[in-house]
Amino acid sequence: MAAIQKALAGDQFIIVLGGEKGGPGKSCLAQNLAVCLKLAGADILLIDADPQATSYDWAHERDALGKLVSIPHEKAHGDISATIKDKAKRYQHIIIDCGGADSQALRSAMTMATHLLLPFRPKRRDLRTLEKVEALVRLAASSNPDLIIRTIITQCPTLPSQVQRIVDAKDASASFELQPLQAVTFTRNVYDDAEEDGSSVMEHGTDPKAVEEIQAIAIELLEAK
């Protein structure tokens, strides 16, 4: 936690989760990172820019349960740059879940963000979208040259014999000049179980390795230059 607090201090982070593929874990990461930063004391807003509203509903459910720390949350659609500008005056940090398509929300969010995190599973049908994602991201980089862009390999197989898949997925990302985080997520039931309860891997408390994963992702992303 101290490392996360140190990385957060004095800066404003606007972290966008996006991509071209459904299901690699954008909402899962948005939610777990939001809780991770909140538990580190951050003043944070979660914006759900995906019409599916997965993260908005998750945060709403947390409040309805009344047992977990509240994550301020809002929905936004279309060109969300004005919303981000406005919310950035009221909150220290913002996490934006942009859904799995090239949308106006994603394009506009990328122009305002400090960090763009793009999850990919180590599977061909995810990695095939790297080319399209690269083109989209270059566009963002031209209007927001300070944007820090990282991919993350998610839902990795836990079998040691499958480790090459993770290495290959990172190499595939790097071959499109999209730098992968060293940190990954492995396939763990707790991600799904926690989401089901409106909670996070930190609060679910059944899998310390998942907690370590999320903290490692947070630190590496916040410290990325």
Ligand X SMILES: Nc1ncnc2c1ncn2[C@@H]1O[C@H](COP(=O)(O)OP(=O)(O)OP(=O)(O)O)[C@@H](O)[C@H]1O
Distance (Å, whole) CA 175 – CA 170: 9
State in angstroms the smallest separation of the CB of 126 from ligand X.
Answer: 10
10 three-state secondary structure: coil
Residues 6+ apart with CB under 8 A from 86: none
Read off φ and ψ for residue 199, nearest 5 degrees. Answer: -115, -160
- Residues 102-121 binding ligand X (CB under 6 A) are none
Q: How many C-beta neighbours within 10 Å does residue 105 have?
A: 27
State in angstroms the smallest separation of the CB of 124 from Mg ion.
Answer: 21
User: Which of the listed partners (ligand X, Mg ion, none) does 23 bind, with a CB threshold of 5 to 8 Å by partner kind?
Assistant: ligand X
Distance (Å, whole) CA 30 – CA 15: 9
Q: What are the structure tokens assigned to 74, written together?
A: 């809002």
User: For ligand X, which residue of 99, 122, 180, 198 counts as binding (CB under 6 A)?
Assistant: 99
User: Which of the listed partners (ligand X, Mg ion, none) does 107 bind, with a CB threshold of 5 to 8 Å by partner kind?
Assistant: none
Using the rule CB under 6 A, give the single segment among 49-57, 63-71, 75-83, 200-208 that binds ligand X.
49-57
Q: What are the structure tokens assigned to 26, written together?
A: 């954008």
Binding flag, residue 38, ligand X (CB under 6 A): no
Binding flag, residue 212, ligand X (CB under 6 A): no
Binding flag, residue 151, Mg ion (CB under 5 A): no
State in angstroms the smallest separation of the CB of 92 from ligand X.
Answer: 24
Strand partners, 2: none
Q: What are the structure tokens assigned to 107, written together?
A: 């394009």
Read off φ and ψ for residue 148, nearest 5 degrees. Answer: -95, 120
Tokens 């480790």 sit at which residue? 163
Using the rule CB under 5 A, give the single segment among 19-27, 61-69, 75-83, 176-184 that binds Mg ion.
19-27
- Which helix (H) or strand (E) covers residue 93, if one does? strand 93-97
User: For Mg ion, which residue of 16, 19, 25, 27 counts as binding (CB under 5 A)?
Assistant: 27
Going residue by residue from 150 to 179, which x/- string records binding to ligand X, judged by CB under 6 A?
----xx------------------------
Q: What are the structure tokens assigned to 147, written together?
A: 């944007």
Using the rule CB under 6 A, give the single segment among 17-25, 36-44, 105-113, 130-138 that binds ligand X.
17-25
Residues that bind ligand X (CB under 6 A): 22-28, 50, 52, 54, 99-100, 154-155, 185, 187-188, 191-192, 195
Which residues make up the interface to Mg ion (CB under 5 A)?
A: 26-27, 54
